[in-house]
Amino acid sequence: MIRTGRSLLMGCLLLISPLLSAAGGNSLLIPATARCTLNTLPEELPEALRVCEQAASQGDLQAAYELGEFYYDGRRAPRDLHKALSWFEQASLKGHALAQHRLGMMFFRGEGVSASNVQAYILLKMSAVNGAEEALDTADRVSAQMRRDELEIAVQVLGQIFRNYLMDLQTVESAR
């Protein structure tokens, strides 16, 4: 159980560590980014995908999220949970709230990944902190289905994430 907690901690710390510099020292504030446009005519879709993938590869979190949604919903192309998961993970690791929310739901439902209430809960709480208010209600629904030991692990991981966040804030403030 301790090893699982450490793995979850390391993964979740990756969710917030890159944000400190990108958000002016506040790892819980996510900078706004440009959008890619995938809602195009069918004949323009290949070029739109290429442009969006290029933007996402260059760090555009919104582009990565929109690519994840594109492959997740399966309306304009066949549903591809593997590709959706990859794009959501890319945006989520850098703190994109909606990507974290969708990824949390994928872990909760076991869509393209092994179902994990602990991972789902952590991602949903991080999503809420990063601005997706609906993630709070979703996290509550997930926690209602968690065993006590699972909830304890998730709360410990979140506690460590926030302790590290507060330490980062103190370091930034003392450097000023």
Confidence of residue 167 (pLDDT cuts 50, 70, 90): confident
110 backbone dihedrals φ, ψ, rounded to 5°: 70, 40
Condensed to tens digits (0 to 9), the pLDDT of residues 84-138 reads 999 999 999 999 999 999 999 999 999 999 999 999 999 999 999 999 999 999 9
Confidence of residue 35 (pLDDT cuts 50, 70, 90): low
**So what's the pLDDT on residue 1?**
40
Q: How far is CA 67 from CA 59, 85, 119, 157, in A?
A: 13, 10, 22, 29
Q: What percent of the chain has pLDDT over 90?
A: 66
User: What is the distance between the alpha carbons of residues 158 and 58, in angstroms, rounded to a whole number?
Assistant: 29
Quote the pTM value.
0.76
Q: According to DSSP H, which parts of the chain are helical?
A: 2-16, 19-22, 45-57, 61-73, 81-93, 97-109, 117-129, 134-143, 148-175
Mean pLDDT over all residues of the chain? 84
Task: Work out the number of other CB atoms within 10 angstroms of the CB of residue 165.
Answer: 19
**So what's the pLDDT on residue 20?**
42
